[in-house]
Structures are given as structure tokens and as C-alpha cells.
Chain A
Amino acid sequence: MWKNFKNGFIKENPVFGLYLGMCSSLAISTSLNNAIGMGACVTLVLLFSNILVSLIRKITPDEIRIPVYIVIIATLVTIVEMLVHAFAPGLYDSLGVFLGLVVVNCIILGRAEAFASKNDVLSSAVDGIGMGLGYTFAIVLISVVREFFATGAITFVNPFNSSQLIFKLGSDALEPVTIGLFSQPVGAFLVFACFAALFTVLRENAKKKESAK
């Protein structure tokens, strides 16, 4: 169980290991706030979609399982979207269309198909949380680097009340030397590539150690 959970971070990190859900992770990783907000939404959807898919795995006819999963995922995303719109309007505005696009985030359908449809409810739920946090972890990494280089500071404001600043790391003195490129898509690709390489090295090292034993 713990292994399932841990898998999502490095070995099978959905973004850097399985290369899933890259569209949203490149697009919204401009600030820490967006990354955490998006990560929380994806984790929630992933948790509940895994639970539901696992619950009905024995009665779902094989021929129509994909449409059924899509209906479940779309429902959950719509609910999360409405909740975010109502309770975190600032986040809703900054995530924009990418919140609705969680429906087609392949991590979610991928986990429903590859894991939840074959395993019991508890391990599916754990897998959902693990994968969701793995995704969050990945986009937080990208966003921290991008936000720091693009604005000179990493800020986090309360998502439920956008006027309340929780912390700001960095200094305004860095503002003249910021690199605007990092807030652009190019910056996203650069940062993503560096992290993907780093994660591959980590995985390869772990494998070597195991085979040396």
C-alpha cells in the first residue's frame, strides 16, 4: 500500500516518469498559487474517480467502460469547477480553461483504466492520492523555478481570499534581473526538460543499486 503511494512521486511520477498530463503542467505552472490550486483539483478528482471506478468495476460492462469513466470524470471535474468558482474565484480566474480541461487530463483516465478498474477501493483511493500528489509535486517544482526566475520572488496568497498574502520568499531587489522568458511557454519546456532529466537519473541510479545487490 505504502509502495503504491510512494510510486507516484519518483518512480512512476505521472509527469516526469509516465509523461502524462503534460499539457496542463506546462500551461499553468507559472506561479506557485496556480500549481497548488491545480494540483489540489486534480488530486481531488483523481481520488474520487478512482474510488467510483473501483466501486463499480464489477458491474461495468467491458464494452462501454471508457464512456462510463469519462462520464464519471466529467461529472467530478464539473463539480470541482463549480466549487472553485464559488469559493476560490481568484483561482478560478487564473486557471481559466485549464480547470475544465482536467476532464481530458490523461493521468485521471489513465489511472482509472490501468489501476482502479482492476483493484479494490482502498488501494485505488491510495493510488489516486499518491498520483495526485505526485502531479502536484511535479508542477510545484516547475512553478517554483519559473516564478522565481520570472518575478524574483515566490509568493503564495490564500486561494480562498486573494487579498490575504501568506508568504513571499525573495526580494524586490531582484526585480531588475528577472528573466521574462520563464513565464513564457519556452521557459516551461526548459524547466520541464531539466527536471525530467534529473528524475531519469534518479530512477536509473535506484535501478543500478537494486541490481548490484
Chain B
Amino acid sequence: MKKNLTLALFLGIVSALAGLVIGLFNGVTEPIITANAIAAEQANMEKLFPGGEFSLIDYSDPDKNVLSIYEAKGEGYLVKAQATGYNTSTPIIVLIAFDQEGKTIGIEALQQQETNGFGAGCFERDFLDSTYVGRTSTDTIDALSGATKTSNAMRRILSAAFTAVEEVKD
């Protein structure tokens, strides 16, 4: 019995020390890792908020649609979100800009491989700007005819993004 307790104690001490050391290193590397993540996204974010000052907001979406949220200081929010459309192997990833009231003010497609002539039409500049920009969470969002799956994916992205922005702006 006494032997077992010593063993447990020894392992406990080793684990506690290990946790402590990892914590220390995490404290050093964490800010650099987030700064890198923002830097990688910087070029895309600049398109929506030129010259903005960005910081990462902690948010996790249970449905995994929202990938990350950034605050553009004094200007609004940026949501990077994904959903699967017609192409099930490559999800659609878009970056959406919101003003401080939660209205969409810009959108950029980061990744999509929907069918040309059908779903890909959702990502043409005119369609993006006329359909997804200037919307609030209560507006209905039009679908592109012939591209139901892609349109639905975009709606899921938008609704997840609205929910996320509502949550972080208060």
C-alpha cells in the first residue's frame, strides 16, 4: 500500500512538473502563433478593411462553420467561415466583413471549387456584392438558380457568421 502511494506520488510530481514546463512554453509561443495566423490572413483582410488593425477573438462554433473571427479595431468584424456545397471534397471558405452593427459590408471567397457555370456563379464579383453585402441577420438571402447546394452552403455560412458576430459584438 505504502509502495503504491509512493509510486502514485512520483508519477504525480513528474506530471505536475511537465504541466508547469508546458505552461511556461505555451505562454511564450502562444502570442507568436496568433500573430502568425493573423499575418497569414492579412492580405485577404486588407481587401475588406484597408489599413485595419486586427486582433483575433476567441470563439468556437459548435457546428464548425465559423473558423475564426477577427476584430478590426473601430471598424467592425471579420468572420472566416466554411461550409460544404456541391463539391463535397473541397469546402467553400469565405471571409465576410461586418460593420459594428452586424451588417455585412464586404465578402471575399478564399476557397471554392464549385461547378463552373452553376455553383461557381455564386462567387462572381457582382453576385457576391449584390447578394451578400448590405445584409443583416433578419434579411432573406437570395439563391442562385441552378445552384441550390452552393446557395444553401452560402446561407449556412452567412447564418453562422451572423450568429457569431451577434455573440461577440456585445
Residues of A that sit less than 8 Å from B by CB? 59-61, 63-64, 67-68, 71-72, 74-75, 78-79, 82-83, 85-87, 89
Contacts and interface: CB of A to CB of B under 8 A. Distances in A.
B7 A87 contact: no
A83 B24 CA distance: 12
Interface of B: 6-7, 10-11, 14-15, 18, 21-22, 25-26, 28-30, 32-33, 36, 40
Q: Majority SS of interface residues in chain A? A: helix
Nearest to A59: B10
A144 to B, nearest CB: 29
A45 to B, nearest CB: 13
A161 to B, nearest CB: 12
B33 A86 contact: yes
Contacts, number: 47
A67 B11 contact: yes
B32 A86 contact: yes
Contact of A79 (B22, B32, B33, B40): B22
B25 A72 contact: no
25 contacts: A61-B10, A63-B7, A71-B14, A71-B15, A71-B18, A72-B14, A74-B18, A75-B18, A75-B21, A75-B22, A78-B22, A78-B25, A79-B22, A79-B25, A82-B22, A82-B25, A82-B30, A83-B25, A83-B29, A86-B28, A86-B29, A86-B32, A86-B33, A89-B33, A89-B36
